[in-house]
């Protein structure tokens, strides 16, 4: 492989978008990654980092813009690391995400002969995020990190944030400045009921005694904020209402502690659930195992259809929320298990438990360590919902070695202007 030297300048044409913040070009057969570029761009680039198999550069001059390039509408695009694909038209973004999913499954998973359904676009290209997480520094500034750094920028608003989150961004900064407790992140969470906003701060150390009065007074002075949450290691304090309403499939309303995980894109979340439920074909004869169930986003709609659902989640706070929502909706065919997924599946195998179908929705790290025991539980159909195509491909390949066949996948875009994409995959046992 011919190596490209650092600080070398070259002219290249961008071929595609990588699974990451870069466009891909090639120079003498070597991959060159250029951030904030668009397929079809011709650029003069300077090499910043040179590795044996690839190089990373920066655009010195845009020689000829791609027909697929658009003027990024966000004034913070050049500095902020949050939306690296914003210079590409949305149709190009969707095509790139579809291709990245296909490439991961064929290259990493070695799969062939499966169906890839067209990607489902986001209902909204901008202002789609109901959760906005900002970092705080030692100067009590609040903002986003610059690309590939921990240097903070302080936007006045965010183009992909829900308008209600943007409205309360100055209030989040005000609250941060008044707090004595060291806070490292503040998240603005907008519930699915109009205008209901909670501010949640992730703290280091203990709650400073004076912050009880500070936060109570702050909430009194800002009645349009539903609640404040501060939490740290083994403690949590709430002022006002600390839960938000999340709309799940079937019109089910879930009351969830604001700081717990929920999908950022409300409409996209419903599409994910719809696809999962449709492919699951759940009936009263099914005993369903759901791993990484969170607070019950998929669990409750599945329980309305299946004979029994055993829902596994490691976070006890999520389990408590899910159990309360199940009871509130009168679902008695739910069994909640608070445990790491791999440990729970191993226990089920040892006890001889059997399931007809399984649903997995793991974090980005995937479900490594689960597959061997999962395959021994008699599961005929597995639905895997993933936010990380490479780990999805790895895990599905492990299931493939245990006698399962990949039937179809559907990408769903919950994250316009970033490279992230959700995927629903269906595997069935070979007979």
Q: Which residues are catalytic?
A: 387
Spacing of C-alpha 284 from chain mean position: 31
User: How far are the Cα atoms of 43, 52, 90 from residue 363, in angstroms, in the given order?
Assistant: 36, 31, 26
Identify each DSSP E strand in 117-182 by its residue range: 131-136, 142-145, 152-153
* β-bridge pairing 381-386 and 197-203: unpaired
> Which residue in this structure is represented by tokens 């600080």?
7
Q: How many residues does the chain have?
A: 431
CB-side neighbour CA atoms (13 Å) of 172: 33
Are the beta carbons of 250 and 276 closer than 8 angstroms?
no
Q: How far apart are CA 131 and CA 199, in angstroms?
A: 10
CB-side neighbour CA atoms (13 Å) of 127: 7
Are the beta carbons of 262 and 295 closer than 8 angstroms?
yes
Token pair, residue 119, equals 């990607």
Instruction: Give the CA diameter of the chain.
Output: 66
Token pair, residue 181, equals 């407790």
What are residue 73's phi and psi, to 5 degrees?
-75, -15
Token pair, residue 292, equals 């990484």
Token pair, residue 1, equals 């492989």
Characterise 25 by phi-psi region: left (phi > 0), alpha (psi -120 to 50), beta (else).
beta
Are the beta carbons of 369 and 345 closer than 8 angstroms?
no
Residue 222, SS3? coil
* Residue partners of 132: CB distance under 8 A and separation at least 6: 158, 161, 162, 165, 169, 187, 188
* β-bridge pairing 243-247 and 197-203: unpaired
């Amino acid at each position: 492989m011919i190596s490209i030297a650092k600080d070398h300048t070259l002219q290249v044409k961008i071929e595609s978008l990588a699974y990451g913040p870069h466009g891909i070009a090639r120079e003498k057969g070597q991959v060159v990654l250029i951030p904030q570029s668009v397929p079809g761009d011709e650029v003069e680039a300077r090499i910043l980092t040179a590795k044996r198999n690839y190089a990373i550069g920066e655009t010195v001059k845009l020689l000829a813009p791609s027909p697929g390039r658009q003027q990024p509408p966000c004034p913070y695009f050049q500095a902020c690391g949050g939306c690296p694909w914003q210079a590409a038209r949305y149709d190009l973004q969707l095509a790139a995400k579809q291709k990245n999913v296909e490439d991961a499954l064929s290259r990493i998973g070695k799969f062939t002969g499966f169906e890839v359904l067209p990607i489902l676009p986001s209902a909204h290209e901008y202002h789609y995020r109901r959760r906005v997480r900002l970092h705080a520094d030692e100067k009590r500034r609040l903002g986003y990190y610059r690309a590939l750094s921990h240097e903070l920028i302080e936007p006045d608003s965010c183009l992909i944030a829900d308008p209600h989150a943007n409205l309360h961004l100055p209030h989040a900064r005000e609250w941060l400045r008044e707090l004595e407790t060291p806070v490292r992140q503040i998240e603005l969470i907008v519930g699915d009921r109009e205008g209901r906003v909670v501010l949640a701060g992730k703290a280091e150390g203990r709650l400073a005694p004076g912050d009880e009065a500070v936060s109570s007074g702050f909430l009194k002075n800002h009645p349009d904020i539903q609640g404040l949450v501060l939490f740290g290691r083994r403690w949590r304090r709430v002022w006002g209402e600390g839960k938000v309403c999340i709309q799940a499939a079937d019109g089910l309303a879930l009351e969830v502690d604001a700081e717990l995980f929920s999908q950022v894109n409300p409409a996209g979340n419903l599409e994910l659930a719809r696809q999962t439920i449709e492919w699951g074909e759940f009936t009263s004869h099914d005993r369903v195992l759901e791993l990484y169930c969170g607070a019950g986003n998929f669990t409750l709609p599945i329980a309305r259809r299946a004979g029994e659902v055993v829902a596994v989640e490691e976070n006890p706070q999520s389990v408590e929320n899910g159990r309360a929502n199940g009871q509130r909706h009168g679902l008695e065919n739910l069994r909640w298990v608070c445990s790491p997924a791999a440990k729970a599946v191993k226990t089920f195998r040892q006890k001889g438990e059997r399931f007809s179908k399984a649903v997995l929705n793991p974090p980005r790290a995937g479900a490594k360590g689960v597959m061997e025991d999962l395959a021994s539980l008699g599961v005929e159909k597995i639905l895997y919902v993933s936010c990380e195509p490479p780990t999805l491909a790895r895990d599905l390949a492990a299931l493939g070695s245990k006698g399962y066949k990949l039937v179809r996948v559907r990408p769903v875009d919950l994250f316009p202007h970033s490279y992230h994409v959700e995927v629903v995959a269906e595997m069935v046992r070979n007979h």
